Structure 1
Amino acid sequence: MTAVSSDVLGWSVVVPTVGRPQLRAMLDSLAATLQRCPEVAAPAAVVVVDDRPLGSAADGSPARPGPLPLPAEHGLPLHVVRSGGRGPAAARNAGWRTAAATASPPRWVAFLDDDVVLPPGWAGRLAEDLAKADVDDVAAVQARIVVPLPAHRRPTDWERSTAGLERAAWATADMAYRLDVLRRVAGFDERFPRAYREDADLALRVRQAGGTLRRGSRTVTHPVRPADDHVSLRVQRGNRDDALMRALHGPRWRQDAEVGRGRLPWHTATVAAAGAAAGLAAAHRPRPAALAAGVWAALTADFLRRRVLPGPRPGEEGFAAELRRMAVTSVAIPFAAVAHRARGAWQHRRALGGVAPAPWPVPVRALLLDRDGTLVHDVPYNGDPALVVPFDGARRALDAARARGLRLGVVSNQSGIGRGLLTPAQVDAVQARVESLLGPFGTWQRCPHVPEDACGCRKPEPGMVLRAAAALGVAPAECAVVGDIGADVGAALAAGARTVLVPTPETRPEEVAAAPLVAVSLEEAVRLL
């Protein structure tokens, strides 16, 4: 295999996770394939995005979750980012934006699920895929997914569902995108909260923007995760995401995104028959009610048959338990599917003739600002309102933002409280002075902790940005964070907000070089949004 230099390959890895124990094996397999393929340049970064919800500390502020199951010895350029439990689309965005926010951003970002296993030659095959994609100007390259199924019996319904990944188009279990393409389309649409359709939506938008997607030569193993008896009911929530896809991309979205038709029309007919039977019975019309009930029973029995026949046979391991699961869930799934689709259609009312959702990325509706070094000159551990001096033009910039209808908030690290150098009352007094000089803010969020507290709110953690967005009634993606140091940028990226850096003499050059957007003043920062 031909060696691939770092300037040709130029890649980073992003792994979203909710702390599953399989993460350790996945990272071990990544380290092993890199060792087996020394001719391949190592990734610039392996960004593990911890998307577990932030816990709550004793004072009610966000607290970091417990440690992730990371390998003790891995030799990987590992970086952990916390995204606050906002779903895989938001986690992947936090990952690639973190990888991009360096002085030398990668050309490619390889997205991997936390439960896949990479074969020994994976790194070499990836290098070949990306080298060919560079020559042909391809926007993204997908791996071929292999789902191991039991050899001693027929697969269960859940195992067959997982095996559908082998035929899925553009699944991000192992998908590499050009960084410039991700920037052009603003990454994943974070309105998709589940691991469902967010990858199809991204692929569709990339193709609509003129990009080409290709299936590569590399393979990845995706084991079947353990699941309880009700997993097939929970996955019906994806019908809400189907409603969003239709609202965003129109009635032909399934064909355009290369997605199968699904069973929703049959589920709708099943629910309609059940509803007719109940209504007719209540109206004391027994014969039509019996006919409608018969239609419901026939449709339900057909659905059960289609799920049971490919599964374990009598006498095979797990047959009785699978038959019980299928019998119960085959009755419930049509109702769950229709209910979730109706809820999604109402939420995204284009399907009902309403206004279509805004295209991704959504417009900025809120501006979150660092206090010291951004709004006012930095006086370390200031508890004296008399020392508050706003930057020139700060009031004009904020008034311009208010005139545009932007909601305003402040997110400020105040470790002086945790260090015993300031009291909350002193910080409140400084806050009041800032408002008297610069006008009102819709929310003030501050972190009183020291770094050793390991909280989830101290920037660059996302906690304060997420709390501010909630307090202002907007989504994190509808926020922009303006600050003067890399921690402000990091908090914005982790929370899914846009960000502008306004450097001061104290801002480190590497922070300026890594910032996605830089302005010379607060007024310019507001104009750029």
Structure 2
Amino acid sequence: MSCTVVVPTIGRPSLRTVLAALLDSIAGGPEPAPHEIIVVDDRPAHGAPLPLPDSGGRRIRVIRSGGRGPAAARNAGWRAAATEWVAFLDDDVVPDPDWTRRLAADLAGLPPKAAGSQGRVSVPMPDGRRPTDWERNTAGLARADWITADMAYRRGVLAELGGFDERFRRAYREDADLALRALAAGHDLVRGERHVTHPVRAAGFWASVRAQAGNADDVLMWRVHGPGWRARAGEGRGLLRRHVLTAAAGLAALAAAPAALRGSRAGTAAAALAAGGWALCTARFAVERIRPGPRTPGEVLKMAVTSAVIPPAAVGHRIRGLLAHRDARPWAGPWVVLFDRDDTLIRDVPYNGDPALVEPMPGARRALDRLRRHGVRIGVVSNQSGVAKGRITAGDVRRVNARVEELLGRIDVWEFCPHDGDDGCECRKPRPGMIERAVRRLGALPSDCAVIGDIGRDIEAAAAAGARGILVPTVRTRPAEIARALETAPDLRAAVELVLGRRTR
């Protein structure tokens, strides 16, 4: 079968047995077997090896994606695949025993216009009692369109669309976004006959409150797909308007409280009216959640408390999304910007091994944050010949780099060359080795990368790797280097605008 199965995971201890059973089911399933199973380990740091079963002679490969979220993990998985089709499974589903055979049947003979095939998902509900609020919410997965609990795509279509939008850092909306982009591009998505079971995971008291973070992702969907995205994605109307009304009533009650406490009649009336409105809205919301459930004391208490907390949480995340995605554009695939470190992101201190001496260049944090808002991945490629000279150690370099992240925010990938100019390595700029490694680690191509630096060898390394180079001159940049550069910018802000201008227009 010309299909690779990709399973992203963060290695949750509670799911390791489920993951092992999932892999065992696929590896030991009936013929025809998938070409390969790729497990994408998305833990941000190296941990204990994932529990992989005996593959039965079938290939199970583990790759790492650096803790960048499920969208980035799935992108790393399909880019590592070499087959026509890529089937994505969540790490907590249980495929039927004949899943591999039915997958092959679902994909066989599909017309070229069919870009994706969705499997059937069922969520078992408890016997002998009504489901809880959390269980009912999970049951919605069985009715959802195009969810990656079990979804196969043609690899060529994934490449055409740029894969999953990595600005979705949670397991939420990234599958609907990809499906809407595929449909808008003229592709068809079909439903297959294979089947997986999605058990309900245990959830804590505040799970429904934490889920409100999805309101920020909804802003990104709205920005990218327009106001009618819910209908096109098969989504019902949300409760945000009611949550806004509830939160506004609660805020008005708090605002009027000081006047009421001072004995003001107007203040007392305003506080009472607002508090009453808040209480009615909250009570209605709580009753709607309690009525269909088991109505046990614990469930009733949870619904009562979280129904008061959810509206302000939802509104707060909505505001966060409006700020974070205020200038979002449609996803166009992985885009990487690699920076030189010294005199580009931070002031150059020769052979610096002291984190206390790190000083950001003017505007560096704002420039990086602007890239992050656009979903651009950020890396640093830096020559550090002081290691070869014995002036600093590799540990010193890493400590300085850690301080840079404290001041400038997360850097997705670091590469530094510890060699001297006469060592003949392939990584020291102007050679392209560091750029090629950094781009490969981020699952992108050099043609999807821009390199920003302050001297000629930064730009020469970019050209050697097949990437775009932008020079931001400083006092140590030679006039000849400026003259040779195809693109220059007066500062980091302008360099970032050059990158985004070409990317988004």
Matches within 5 A, 1:87-98: 87-98=69-80
Tell me the equivalent position of 1:298.
280
The root-mean-square deviation of aligned C-alpha atoms, in Å, is: 3.9
Matches within 5 A, 1:106-185: 106-133=83-110, 135=111, 137-185=113-161
Query: What secondary structure is seen at the aligned counterpart in 2 of 1:158?
Result: helix
1:446, 1:47 → 2: CA distance?
A: 33
Could you say if the C-alpha distance between residues 76 and 20 of structure 1 is closer, same or farther in structure 2, counting changes exceeding 3 Å? farther
1:156, 1:214 → 2: CA distance?
A: 32
Residue type of the partner of 1:12? T
1:280, 1:448 → 2: CA distance?
A: 56
Could you say if the C-alpha distance between residues 121 and 247 of structure 1 is closer, same or farther in structure 2, counting changes exceeding 3 Å? same
2:168 paired with 1:192:
yes
Tell me the equivalent position of 1:390.
none
Query: By how many angstroms is 1:111 displaced?
Result: 0.5
Question: Any conservation in 2 of the 1:411–1:446 contact (CA below 8 Å)?
Answer: no
Query: By how many angstroms is 1:493 displaced?
Result: 4.2
2:184, 2:198 → 1: CA distance?
A: 29
2:16, 2:87 → 1: CA distance?
A: 16
Residue type of the partner of 2:333? P
Could you say if the C-alpha distance between residues 336 and 485 of structure 1 is closer, same or farther in structure 2, counting changes exceeding 3 Å? same
1:90, 1:286 → 2: CA distance?
A: 53
Could you say if the C-alpha distance between residues 409 and 277 of structure 1 is closer, same or farther in structure 2, counting changes exceeding 3 Å? closer
Could you say if the C-alpha distance between residues 44 and 490 of structure 1 is closer, same or farther in structure 2, counting changes exceeding 3 Å? farther
Tell me the equivalent position of 2:381.
410
Which 5+ residue runs of structure 2 have no aligned equivalent?
A: 342-376, 416-425, 449-460, 470-498, 500-505
Query: By how many angstroms is 1:259 displaced?
Result: 2.0
Identity %, equivalent residues:
48
Query: What secondary structure is seen at the aligned counterpart in 2 of 1:217?
Result: strand
Question: Any conservation in 2 of the 1:81–1:494 contact (CA below 8 Å)?
Answer: no
2:229 paired with 1:282:
no
Matches within 5 A, 1:433-448: none
Which 5+ residue runs of structure 1 have no aligned equivalent?
A: 1-8, 55-63, 100-104, 314-318, 350-354, 370-405, 415-421, 430-444, 450-456, 458-463, 502-519
Could you say if the C-alpha distance between residues 469 and 360 of structure 1 is closer, same or farther in structure 2, counting changes exceeding 3 Å? farther
Question: Any conservation in 1 of the 2:7–2:88 contact (CA below 8 Å)?
Answer: yes
Aligned length: 405
Query: By how many angstroms is 1:149 displaced?
Result: 1.0
2:40 to 46, 49, 52: 49
Question: Any conservation in 2 of the 1:140–1:214 contact (CA below 8 Å)?
Answer: yes
Tell me the equivalent position of 1:361.
333
Could you say if the C-alpha distance between residues 486 and 466 of structure 1 is closer, same or farther in structure 2, counting changes exceeding 3 Å? farther
Could you say if the C-alpha distance between residues 145 and 494 of structure 1 is closer, same or farther in structure 2, counting changes exceeding 3 Å? farther
What do residues 106-128 of structure 1 show as CA deviations (whole Å, max 9, x unaligned)?
00001111110011111111111
Matches within 5 A, 1:159-308: 159-283=135-259, 284=264, 285-308=267-290
2:325, 2:146 → 1: CA distance?
A: 24
2:503 paired with 1:526:
no
1:35, 1:172 → 2: CA distance?
A: 22
Query: By how many angstroms is 1:71 displaced?
Result: 2.2
Query: By how many angstroms is 1:72 displaced?
Result: 4.8
Could you say if the C-alpha distance between residues 411 and 202 of structure 1 is closer, same or farther in structure 2, counting changes exceeding 3 Å? farther
2:18 to 6, 25, 34: 25
Question: Any conservation in 2 of the 1:17–1:50 contact (CA below 8 Å)?
Answer: yes
Matches within 5 A, 1:310-389: 310-313=292-295, 319-349=296-326, 355-357=327-329, 359-361=331-333, 363-366=335-338
Could you say if the C-alpha distance between residues 328 and 472 of structure 1 is closer, same or farther in structure 2, counting changes exceeding 3 Å? closer
Query: By how many angstroms is 1:78 displaced?
Result: 1.2
Query: By how many angstroms is 1:345 displaced?
Result: 0.6
Residue type of the partner of 2:83? P
Residue type of the partner of 2:38? V
Question: Any conservation in 2 of the 1:308–1:326 contact (CA below 8 Å)?
Answer: yes
2:128, 2:432 → 1: CA distance?
A: 58
1:190, 1:343 → 2: CA distance?
A: 17
1:248, 1:467 → 2: CA distance?
A: 35
2:55, 2:277 → 1: CA distance?
A: 60
Could you say if the C-alpha distance between residues 487 and 128 of structure 1 is closer, same or farther in structure 2, counting changes exceeding 3 Å? farther
| TM-score calculated relative to the size of structure 1 | 0.68
Could you say if the C-alpha distance between residues 138 and 145 of structure 1 is closer, same or farther in structure 2, counting changes exceeding 3 Å? same
Query: What secondary structure is seen at the aligned counterpart in 2 of 1:140?
Result: strand
2:469 paired with 1:492:
no
2:336, 2:133 → 1: CA distance?
A: 43
